[in-house]
Structure 1
């Protein structure tokens, strides 16, 4: 039914490269965003903001001189966990650079995926576990 893409993939831009974990979603973009929202709220967390990045990219393409369609749809859910954030920032206050945490849903080339960035070894693995659990729940793993 829904399957996990086992390997992390490397995404690059001119400024930086960052690992992220992608999981295939067997269903529509709207169903995936509902599932992600439900999984986050189901953890007792509050979604601070949903960035409709796909809509923004489509809306502004002509303004920046582009006709490239990057995504059919893309939303990013931003949120924090008081418990996990406190633990990772007590371990190293500079872990603040990783907050808030994000889970994204993208639709590209007819394929819907749910994912999150990969975090550094050490205390930030608590965040990685939280996000991996949210994604797994959202995709029905």
Structure 2
């Protein structure tokens, strides 16, 4: 358990935060600017965005339908994509790494606090994906 606290302290001191197996970086700007920055960083790596999930819109639209008046995000999108080269490498190491594909970078806005982040990947071969996600998130966040 101490290693998790040490890891969290290390990531926070590096400008990011770790929560619920996700790493986030603050973005100094609007949600729209952050989503543009994420899109640019992903495409700049030669990757193709397969889908953008508008999670924030869905949660805001369906809250009353499920008996809730809680507004979780002002806006939240997840950019889904894959890397043929890295995906092949990690799935050759273990075909069950398919469970982690596609990869996602999210952008959230909570009361004007905009963040960019990603789900942390398991130890082993998937750390190459972690490195890719971190480089994209850091670039997009201006870190």
Q: Settle same-fold status: TM greater than 0.5.
A: yes
Instruction: Report the equivalent of 2:97.
Output: 95
Instruction: Report the equivalent of 2:25.
Output: 23
Residue of 19, 33, 37 corresponding to 1:9? 19
| Superposed displacement of residue 115, structure 1 | 0.2
Contact (CA 8 Å) 1:4, 1:23: kept in 2 or not? no
Unaligned segments of structure 2, at least 5 residues: 1-12
**Greater per-residue helix proportion:** 2
TM-score (norm 1): 0.89
**1 CA distance for matches of 2:133 and 2:107?**
13
Cα deviation 1:34-66 (Å, max 9, x = unaligned): 000000000000000000110011111111111
Contact (CA 8 Å) 1:4, 1:24: kept in 2 or not? no
Residue of 48, 51, 60 corresponding to 2:62? 60
Is 2:121 the counterpart of 1:134?
A: no
**2 CA distance for matches of 1:103 and 1:123?**
19
Q: Classify the secondary structure of the residue corresponding to 1:8.
A: strand
RMSD across aligned positions (CA): 1.3
| Superposed displacement of residue 6, structure 1 | 3.5
| Superposed displacement of residue 28, structure 1 | 0.4
Contact (CA 8 Å) 2:17, 2:25: kept in 1 or not? no
Residue of 56, 79, 82 corresponding to 1:80? 82
Cα deviation 1:107-138 (Å, max 9, x = unaligned): 01320000001111110000000000101110
**2 CA distance for matches of 1:7 and 1:32?**
17
Pairs aligned (count): 131
Instruction: Report the equivalent of 1:109.
Output: 111
TM-score (norm 2): 0.88
